[in-house]
Amino acid sequence: MVAAILALVSHNYLHTGTLTFDLNAYTYMKSYTYPLFFGVVVFLCFLAAFAVKLPVVPFHTWLPDAHVDAPTPVSMLLAGILLKMGGYGLIRMNLQILPEITKILAPLLIILGAINILYTAIIAIAQTDLKKLVAYSSVSHMGIVLLGIGAMNVAGVSGAVFQMVAHGVISAGLFMVVGIIYLRTHTREISQLGGLGQNSPAIMYLSMVIALGSLGLPLLIGFAAETLAFYGAFTSNVFNSINFTLPWTSESIYLPVSIQILTAIAVIGVIFTAIYILWMLHRVFFGNIFDKWRNFPDATPHELVILISLALVIVVFGFYPKGLTDIFVPSVQLLLHFV
């Protein structure tokens, strides 16, 4: 990323005589287009950096291990805020500064987003560690951000921003629930849990609200964000097919794959999300309870304050998403005006 920034600054200085790091100086250069090779290299440098942070498959493997080793507050901060720096960077650097290159490489963003959504959702189903399941769920949902950015329209990019907000609240809540359970049981193995809702109805019901928000249940914030991002991708005309030339030959390859087809494939990930979320809720809170959890205590007052606050955000902005979209959609429209 540092190399890409220095390359942009140097290139701008050579062609304008102005040495500046002001982002607006690069955004408003509508009369100038970067050379294709230079633009692609800079774009890929930024993408590589932000792909690790978002994270994007195959640069995602650090995240589940980081979450497992991190204490609950750090996991909440990491998933709720820090991962969003990757999505923010893609919007402000790749899309804002290099819109022409973004349009050329939009198929790459959409394909990576679809892989993120599907691949990590399937992996989440196979997890036996509760925290790892939530971690892979986090990676899957960040694929929707990539999909929305690749759509390059107001609905898609707004959906990506909305998804970052929604995921921040939902993932923080899920990791809080995992932390509460681990504090009482000293295990995150799903097979060792079960029936916990019998003695802790408050934890169970609040966990259900948060988890169903992650699932994308209508009238919850996750549904509003995902719907907006998927709608933006379905209505985008950024590409109707994929054409590229192999660098070592002059042969051109044509694939009749549109953004709508790739988005439809990505939507299948929502089904897998429903599978692992409902399976997780059933295994942890329902069914027969182990004798050792007979005295499993319900939420403490400070735990209730945190869980209720997060659940309220999930419900309120699920019912009234306009309260959030009115804040960031004008900024997205202004950004895309220069794209």
- The structural domains of the chain, with segments of one domain joined by +, span 56-337
306's tokens: 């945190």
Rg of the chain taking only CA atoms, in angstroms: 21
**In 10 A of CB 308, how many CB atoms?**
14
CB atoms near residue 202 (< 10 Å): 15
**For range 253-269, the mean pLDDT:** 84
Q: What is the pLDDT of residue 3?
A: 86
In this predicted structure, what is the pLDDT of residue 4? Answer: 86
Which pLDDT score, from 0 to 100, does residue 289 have?
86
The helix (run of H) or strand (run of E) holding residue 207 is: helix 201-215
Percent of the chain with pLDDT over 70: 92
Q: Two tokens at 128?
A: 């036996």
Q: What is the pLDDT of residue 68?
A: 87
Tokens of 297: 């205590």
Q: Which of 34, 36, 57, 54 is nearest to 46 (CA)?
A: 54
Question: In this predicted model, what pLDDT tens digit does every residue of 40-82 receive, in sequence order?
Answer: 999 999 999 999 999 998 899 999 989 888 999 999 999 889 8
Instruction: Give the pLDDT of residue 246.
Output: 60
Are 132 and 183 in contact by the 8 Å Cβ rule? The answer is: no
Question: To the nearest whole number, what is the mean pLDDT of the chain?
Answer: 89
Q: What is the sign of the dihedral through the CA atoms of 40, 46, 50 and 52?
A: positive
Element containing residue 252 per DSSP (H, E): strand 252-255
Tell me the average pLDDT across 202-226: 95
pTM surpassing 0.75?
yes
Neighbour tally for 42: CB within 10 Å: 22
Instruction: Collect all residues with Cβ–Cβ distance below 8 Å to 247 and sequence separation of at least 6.
Output: none
Q: Is residue 28's pLDDT more than 60?
A: no
The confidence score (pLDDT) of residue 315 equals: 97
Tokens coding 88: 């923010």
Please state whether 142 falls in left (phi above 0), alpha (psi between -120 and 50) or beta: alpha
Give pLDDT, residue 9: 83
Average pLDDT (281-300) is: 90
Among 25-39, 155-169, 177-191, 312-326, the minimum mean pLDDT is found in 25-39
Q: Give the pLDDT score at 35.
A: 84
